[in-house]
Amino acid sequence: MSDFKDSQAISASGMRAQATRLRHVAENIANADTPGYRRKTVPFEAEAGRAATGQVATGQVKLDPSDLPEIFDPSHPMADGRGYYRGSNVNPIVEIADSREAQRGYEANLKMFDQARQMSSALLDLLRR
């Protein structure tokens, strides 16, 4: 029965990691038009102390180091003397692709979790006979 619990724990950690990733993608999309906002990325790492089991966790949130675009709008309150202000480095198309990838990863982990649950339930039914 330990293998079933381990497989469910691995799937659950994957779902938690993908959910965290989706939250940051949603935050990036919400701030796509916020001046000076830098895109956030979330790396996945082996969970501390559980590397042998395959569980994952999210690492420290990192800011995208790419340059912020300069946008010309002299009427903007944040514009400098030349009429430019720093925009956001969020690309909505990249964020949508990331959200779909995270959603598919979440769904895959959910299916694995459910499959392990069904297998353990079937094993218990066999043992009861």
Buried b (16+ CB within 10 A) or exposed e, 68-97: eeeeeeeeeeebeeeebbbbbbbeeeebee
Full-model pTM = 0.82
At residue 39, the pLDDT reads 96
How far CA 27 is from CA of 39, 51, 76, 96, 98, in Å, comes to 9, 29, 23, 12, 12
Is residue 104 over pLDDT 80? yes
Give the pLDDT confidence of 39-89 residue by residue, as tens digits.
999 999 887 665 567 888 899 999 999 999 999 999 999 999 999 999 999
122: three-class secondary structure by DSSP:
helix
Q: 4 versus 96: which is more confidently predicted?
A: 96
Place of tokens 């995208």: 64
